[in-house]
Chains A and B, each alone.
Chain A
């Protein structure tokens, strides 16, 4: 007998599959009007959004905390950011109305729906086998999205991305293999505690394998290249949708793997990696003069902040402080959804200027297109963490959650935020520069405005309203 949550989960999984099939078929008809693709996107996108919204309702109202025999974990921590992710997907797919070739548009849309499916499964699953399956789905659809542009530089980027991805997947498989050996399919039933060094080594493998996708130092190498060579909307898809699944799945796995007794060594390691990641990202962004690369380095820095929250969760688990876990996981959820909104908007924006464009190309954009430029500024300010935007609340809770672990870590994170104001501020001042003409009107103006309004609206109180529901399911 299917329960309500099972029906919701099946719908959430089934809709992207049906959508992809329909789009593949539609892609064969090259004489089809673009409008048909856009219409299909819209129908399935809204259906998917509805399905996730239904699941959100089930989880927030406390009716269900899992689905499909406990394989899918339903908590606000994953569902709410995924809801935002499904919404961001719609914004990104809307940009396909600019694509000339129906075929390309269809491939990209298929990749988009596969990404949202992969993200959903990755973020919610507690099953080892489903994790690896959804990881592969997410990875492959990301490569496809990058490659779909069919230009020289995007092919380069896709190849680089795929090669690095294969390498990192090896480590993920090693980690999961260890887990399966110890526990069977259910990640949190493993007794890692008694496994000695093996436990630490597999943790390191997880960090390396998933860290590649997130851009954790020192596994971040591919990121600036790929982000600057690929098409804007492909990177918007990766940062806006795929990253949600990767981040949340990563956090869930780390927490569920180590909730019994994370060793102090491992927490210290995450803290050190976090400091290195944010510092590297911020310092490297300072002197870069290529716009998408600046945003890529800023992505690396943002992951560093999220790792501060991971430290908070692990420390909460080790000290038995559930309050800390609530705070840290809520912070991660907020930071993730803010990241998704701001980064997808930013990359769509820079994508309109072309790939690997110098930062000078946005000079004077405000005079040419005030609305788009203001929205872009809001994205950057949210990433910087200016109140009352989403990025501020995310950082606030993340940093607050790490205070009991180490004040020094929080101080370093705050200093890092301060450093980042230099390159974000520089970009904003260029937008409003008196010299330069900018690009003229941006075509996706409406998308930027919508994203920035969501960022402001969430920050101005909506987040506070839903914060109590954003916690990860505490074990």
Chain B
């Protein structure tokens, strides 16, 4: 009973708050305060749920009622994974909500912002807690809607709200984007795969008769068996995964995340770094055990079918790992030369998500998939913490530096508090011990190496070097190339600095404590994935050495370039203009999409001219004209003369009788 109430307060309550905010007068900070209060309640309730899970263990889903006739139930998962995700989402939302109070102060869409912000949190909580796939999909679409609205928040498309370099065209393709356009792009890029995902969910329902994640997991061997016997295992897995790939901005769907940076910075922090883009990872981690363990169990009961299914699943997850690796690598290279602060962070977000997807792919090849999945979850948590903090910091820099380009900022090291906190976050991203980012990434790298798959692993390992370089470059750049000399740089108010300060301290604190609690976390999380492994490391100590060496090299390179001034990065770039431009222009993938769009327009034009115009005339002119004439014609006999009417009446009867007689 009490648990139901906590779930209600944590998940449903933000939706109600969002509706209330929409009705509030936009006086002062009232909508924001209501929103923060709602997020606070959500955080506390999630915390209590997590506490119960830690104290008493967990069992089946919690239901608020169901409609069995259509397979729908308002049921929520009650396990370690969901508990952690609920707390993570609500806690980060609360922190970023508080920051938004400062950041969005005086904005014309203050109420609108907090309405969607709160609505987003509700939807995201729904995603990470729903047991029913349809319910999950509702939340999933809710996050997409909120994301669309918040990316396009500054709907007047002022010049300073755009992303990319103004006026830069490549092959007639604009390489910059305005908020309203970016919102639409995000919607388009995620919605089309979402429809496929819905198809996948429904096919799964038709085949197995359930939408429930917990039921699917319990009967996993059955599920895999049914799908494999029908020969649609890989198609169904593809349909189920494609929505997640788009949501988590994986190659080649990553373009929307780049332009999504037109949204307000706290939105980028919450939705496009810490939470929504993680929905794809969350969901993949949720469904992977169904296939991983389902196939393994099936191999015991039906060896031939099980073997076929397992090899199909392995192939599929290999592709997933490659996609993750390419994303990680490609976006990291783009980040190397990016000039815009938020773009660097966006690339890095996509890149880190690639690491997580590669981890999901690698899990199938491990003898303990749930262990690898728990590493993915750990990296998800770590990344959410430090990337949210980095975005919040970037918001301050952009504000103080009055530019979104890092090369136009003054030397940010004059903001001592903010920059020191950002260093903690950055080093976590770079993967330096003892920050949390090091441990979780290292755990993943060990898993990659353990698969023995050369191509994805090497791409991912190289990416570690890039990551260390671009992340430190982000903060060091103005040390060497300050854009303007500055007067004194003002620190933000203490409560604002404390938001990312808290995250920065968390990232080092968690890192220091990792050796103590890392294993426990893995065991705790993997309870949700059927198997609790007892071997707690894949045992590749070389991995630690390799990744540490790469991280240190990357940091050293960027230090020598931007701090010690030993290497002149600008002259290197000027010698490689084509490579530089290739990376700056995002591997030309945007050009590719843009031209597909143009091609569609062209097809539309041709269709319009050849087909639509004729139909248009027929339906909108000829048909109404014809009907109108006909209508007037058949009313002619009704001229008011009773004798005529009687005549018509008699004639009609006679005609009818004649027809019947001679028929």
Contact = CB atoms under 8 A, between A and B. Distances in A.
Are both chains from one complex? yes
Interface of A: 159-160, 163-164, 167-168, 171, 197, 200-201, 204-205, 207-208, 212, 218-219, 221-222, 224-225, 265, 269, 280, 283-288
A287 B631 contact: yes
B661 to A, nearest CB: 6
Contact of B657 (A160, A204, A222, A287): A204
Most A Cβ at <10 Å: residue of B644, B646, B648, B661: B646
- Across chains A and B, which 9 residue pairs bring their CB atoms closest together, nearest first? A221-B645, A218-B652, A287-B631, A286-B631, A208-B653, A200-B660, A160-B642, A283-B631, A204-B656
Contact of B646 (A164, A200, A201, A285): A164
B632 interface: yes
Question: DSSP majority for the B interface?
Answer: helix
A286 B634 CA distance: 11
Given A201-B661, A286-B628, A168 B634 contact: no
A219 B657 CA distance: 14
B171 interface: no
B661 A197 contact: yes
Contacts of B575: none
Contacts of A201: 657, 660-661
B650 interface: yes
Given A164-B649, A200-B660, A204-B653, 4 more contacts: A164-B645, A205-B653, A265-B660, A284-B635
Contacts of B653: 171, 204-205, 208, 219
24 contacts: A159-B642, A163-B646, A171-B653, A201-B657, A204-B653, A204-B660, A208-B649, A208-B653, A208-B656, A212-B649, A219-B649, A221-B637, A221-B648, A224-B638, A225-B640, A280-B634, A283-B631, A284-B635, A286-B628, A286-B631, A287-B628, A287-B631, A287-B632, A288-B631
B660 A197 contact: yes
Nearest to B656: A204
A284 B648 CA distance: 17
A131 to B, nearest CB: 20
A167 B647 CA distance: 10
B627 A286 contact: yes
Given A212-B649, A221-B649, A287-B632, A164 B656 contact: no
Contacts of B661: 197, 201
A200 B660 CA distance: 7
B611 interface: no
Contacts of A265: 660, 663
Contact of B635 (A159, A222, A288): A288
Question: DSSP majority for the A interface?
Answer: helix
B621 interface: no
Contacts of B645: 160, 164, 221-222
Contacts of B660: 197, 200-201, 204, 265, 269
Given A159-B642, A201-B661, A265-B663, A284 B634 contact: yes
A164 to B, nearest CB: 6
Nearest to B660: A200
A262 to B, nearest CB: 14
A265 B657 CA distance: 13
B652 A208 contact: yes
A145 to B, nearest CB: 19
Contact of A221 (B627, B628, B630, B638): B638
Contacts of A222: 642, 645
A218 B647 CA distance: 11
B656 A167 contact: no
B637 to A, nearest CB: 7
Nearest to B655: A218
A222 B645 CA distance: 7
Interface string B66-91: 00000000000000000000000000
Contacts of B638: 221, 224-225
Most A Cβ at <10 Å: residue of B631, B632, B640: B631
